Structure formats: C-alpha cells, structure tokens
Amino acid sequence: MTPQEGVIFLVSADAALTQQLINELVAAGRHYQLPLAISVAQARKGFRRVAPTVILLDESAVKVRERGESLESAVGVLTDFAPVVVLAAAERQAELALLIMSGAVDFVARVGDFLPLAVGLLERRVRLAEQAGRAGELLGSAEERAGDFGEILRHEVNNPLTGILGNAELLLAECKKKKGSGIFGEAALQRLQTIAQLAVRLRETVRRLSNAWESRHDHARSA
C-alpha cells in the first residue's frame, strides 16, 4: 500500500468543484488522504476519525441563510484543528483579514483559473507540517540538552511580546483620547487594534508551547 503524505480535508457543498480539486491533487503526483464533508458541522465530526493536516473550505459549505453562520466564524472554528485555505468571492477577503494576518488562513478568490493556486497553497501547508514534524523529532532527541527550553521561550519571546502588547495598548488608549482631534485616523486605530489582538494571540501560543514543552520534558525525565 502506498504511504499517505498528508490529510487534506475538503469541505465543500459544490460537488463539481470538489471533483476538480481531487483531480488536481491526484495529478500533482503525491498520495494525499482526501476526506470530504459538505458542511463545517460534518467536517468537525470527520476530524474525530482523521486529523487534518490542512483544511480546504469552500464558501458553499457555510450555511449563512439556513443556520446564521458567518464565513469568519466558520473559518475561526476550523483553525482550531488545522490551517485553512478558503475559497470564496473576492469581496469576502476583508471579512477574514484578521485570520489571514494571523497566518492561520490562506485566501483564494473564486475568480478565473483559481484551482492551481488553491492546490499550491494546500501542498505548501502540507510541506510546512512535514517540516515542523521533522523539527519536532530533532527537538525530542535533544531534550537532555534543552530541558530549560520552556523557560527560554518565555523569557526570550514572551517578555518582549508583552512589551509590544503593552505599548500598543497604551498607544491605542492615547489614540482614542485624541480621536476627535484629527491626529489619528480611523485606519490607524484599526491597525493598532489588530496589532494588540495578534499580540494577545501570539502570547497565548507561546504560553501553551512553553507549558507543553515543560510538561513533556518533566514526563521524559520521570520515565
């Protein structure tokens, strides 16, 4: 049996598009697992059986009228499981701006010949996951030399990040005080809010990584 090289979960209610994606991925020459779902809810159930490496979400799978879902909320839910490549009308990109800026989401406008771009982004995400896995193996083999990695991570990354967040929040408060003066425009306020939100998200990621590393190292030492 040919080994599988990544799980690309296709979430789309457009059967013709799904088949085109499968054809493109098969033609690429690698042997991916390609589970299918026609809605976000169905995909989440499918994740219990097979963990996705990357998720392809077509806007046809988001039931806005039937269930009151928004594209942003649907994508946000999926990013808890894996990176997401979104296929949607070009005007929907602004709705996902924060998620795209966070690095968890790639956006492909459904305009013209968009499938090769979508497939390229999916394959890139699989390659990145494979590289991260190999890096994790190297880190695991060096645990004896890097027992204090969690502490280093907190000190060298989290401390400067806390400074960035603190200064962004102070500047944001100053902007809001002088909002009516014309010194700071609405665009500047939005950018500062984005910086603060992304800094909070990154700080939480660093905290989780640090705690997970220390827990893993403590378990290895006690084994």
The per-residue pLDDT for range 87-117, each reduced to its tens digit, is 999 988 888 888 888 788 999 999 889 999 9
Query: Could you say which of 101, 121, 139 is where a domain stops?
Result: 139
Distances (CA, A) of 131 to 73, 78, 114, 138, 203: 29, 22, 26, 11, 23
Alpha helices in the chain (DSSP H): 15-27, 40-46, 64-67, 71-78, 97-102, 115-141, 149-153, 159-177, 186-222
**97 in the same domain as 27:** yes
Confidence (pLDDT) at 108? 93
**90 in the same domain as 21:** yes
**189 in the same domain as 129:** no
**104 in the same domain as 29:** yes
**pTM for this predicted structure:** 0.60
**135 in the same domain as 156:** no
Confidence (pLDDT) at 177? 74
**Residues spanned by the domain of 199:** 145-222
**120 in the same domain as 37:** yes
Query: What is d(CA 123, CA 85) in angstroms, rounded to the nearest whole number?
Result: 11
